[in-house]
Structure 1
Amino acid sequence: MTHLVPRALPPGHRAEPGMGAWVRHSTRGANAVIRQGEPTEDGLVDVTFTLPADIPGHISVVGDFNHWDPYAHPMRRSQYGAHTAVIALPQGTSICFRYLAEGGLWLDDPDADARDEHGCIVHVPAAAGGKGKDRPGGAALNGHRSRAAAPRGNATT
């Protein structure tokens, strides 16, 4: 079961007046929202990010992998209304990301592998293990990620 609950924004971030701030919570394993595919021959893994249909407006996946650019990876609506984006990432890496919704609202994913001061973290396993696993929030894996700073202030999509 998936539901939204209010959440305070980190220092330096603000929501549009009257919109509130929301973070998505889910029952682990009931509806995986971060799914990793099989690695391709060139070592890339398609990572699919999914958010429920009841979140209004446009949403993007932003993070250190796309320099926090809200136009680089917009989520698209599936035939059932869910927001989805597929991003090809190298094996053996970790990324820091957040979802950015209309009005500059930041959304965190409780199914991420970990969190730090910049946002959520997803680990893409190295070739030695973990291929094709759904990752609804498993144990941390070894990997490296760039340390691009998280955006500050109100963002717009």
Structure 2
Amino acid sequence: MAIKKQFLKSKPVCKVTFTVPAEEAKKVAVVGSFNEWNEKATPLKKLKNGSFKGTVDLEAGSSYEFRYLVDGTYVNELEADGLAWNDYAGTENCLLSL
């Protein structure tokens, strides 16, 4: 798994690219505080090499909680900027600091 951040000079936005190696998966999405945890809001596209990839424009200077949803199962990003406990879900979410 990987996260790539590209900060834009022209506006306070960061293009964040999420990549998830999941050859056996049928559906992968990134869900988080930036899309109200909506699994349909940010689906990732399957590439020929079997990984899933997608880019989201997020406001720079903010932090977001997120997780991947791989065929209905939540998965954390190993390269996240940190982890945050979520009492509602009873688990840790990944942190993305921009």
Class of the TM-score when normalised by the shorter of the 2 chains: 0.7 to 0.9
**Unaligned segments of structure 1, at least 5 residues:** 1-31, 125-157
Deviations 1:48-90 (A, max 9, x none): 0101143411011000110000000001012322101101011
Equivalenced residues, count: 92
Identity of matched residues, %? 29
1:115 corresponds to which residue?
A: 83
Alpha carbons 2:33, 2:66 under 8 Å: kept = yes
- TM-score w.r.t. structure 2 length? 0.85
- Residue of structure 1 in register with 2:66 after alignment: 97
Distance in 2 separating the partners of 1:99 and 1:55:
15
Question: Mind listing any 5+ residue stretches in structure 2 that lack a counterpart?
Answer: 87-92
Report the Cα distance in structure 1 between the residues aligned to 2:68 and 2:24, rounded to whole angstroms: 11
**Residue pair 2:69, 2:75 contacting (<8 A) in 1 also:** yes
| 1:10-64 deviations in Å (ceiling 9; x for gaps) | xxxxxxxxxxxxxxxxxxxxxx600001315121110001011434110110001
Rg (Cα) greater in structure: 1
- After superposition, the CA RMSD in angstroms is 1.5
Aligned structure 1 segments of 4 or more residues deviating by more than 4 angstroms: none
Superposition TM-score, scaled by structure 1 size? 0.55
